[in-house]
């Protein structure tokens, strides 16, 4: 038996398969998942699991380069926005239209993880990144300026009370 972290085989496999720029969506219970999507349905009841519970498991294991969410979240769902700030680097936030979350982002997503959350606008797209610090650790490799900022972002610790 695996000792810690994500125990669900499908979710663990999905995270391990994510490549730079690919999208994983974590969505609420009512999300219209496209028929041909890689669907991981973790919903077992109303608010089981919550979005926050999934962020707590996924954020430490997935390098996230960008977090996309419906623009309404910041103004109208402050608890969800606070949860995103806790688990993901706010510098990487990008608001999009609600229509994009249920439309084009869902179509582009490599995997869609359905929660039991009953959370307005609770459909979050995580764009996978890479560990730039590891890629540029060899002192013989020069670091272009645009990558220096990305390396500096590696100091963010998911769940460390950034809200």
Residues marked active site are found at 20
Residue 63 near residue 128, CB atoms below 8 Å: yes
If DSSP codes are grouped into helix, strand and coil, which group holds residue 41? strand
Q: How many CB atoms lie within 10 A of CB 88?
A: 24
Pairing state of beta strands 64-70 and 93-96?
parallel
Contacts 24+ apart (CB under 8 A), 71-77: 71/95, 71/96, 71/97, 71/98, 72/98, 72/120, 72/121, 73/121, 76/120, 76/121, 77/119, 77/120, 77/121, 77/122
Q: How many angstroms separate the CA atoms of 65 and 20, rounded?
A: 8
């Amino acid at each position: 038996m695996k000792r810690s972290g994500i125990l669900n085989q499908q979710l663990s496999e999905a995270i391990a398969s994510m490549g730079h720029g690919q999208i994983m969506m974590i969505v609420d219970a009512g999300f219209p998942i496209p028929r041909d999507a890689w669907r991981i349905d973790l919903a077992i009841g109303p608010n089981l699991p919550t979005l926050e519970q999934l962020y707590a498991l996924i954020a430490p294991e997935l390098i996230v380069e960008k977090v996309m969410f419906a623009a309404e979240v910041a103004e109208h769902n402050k608890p969800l926005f606070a949860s995103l700030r806790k688990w993901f680097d706010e510098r990487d936030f990008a608001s999009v239209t609600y229509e994009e979350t249920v439309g084009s982002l869902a179509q582009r997503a490599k995997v869609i993880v359905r929660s039991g959350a009953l959370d307005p606008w609770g459909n979050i797209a995580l764009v996978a990144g890479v560990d730039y610090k590891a890629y540029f650790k060899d002192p013989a490799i020069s670091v272009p300026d645009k990558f220096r900022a990305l390396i500096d972002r590696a100091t963010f610790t998911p769940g460390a009370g950034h809200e």
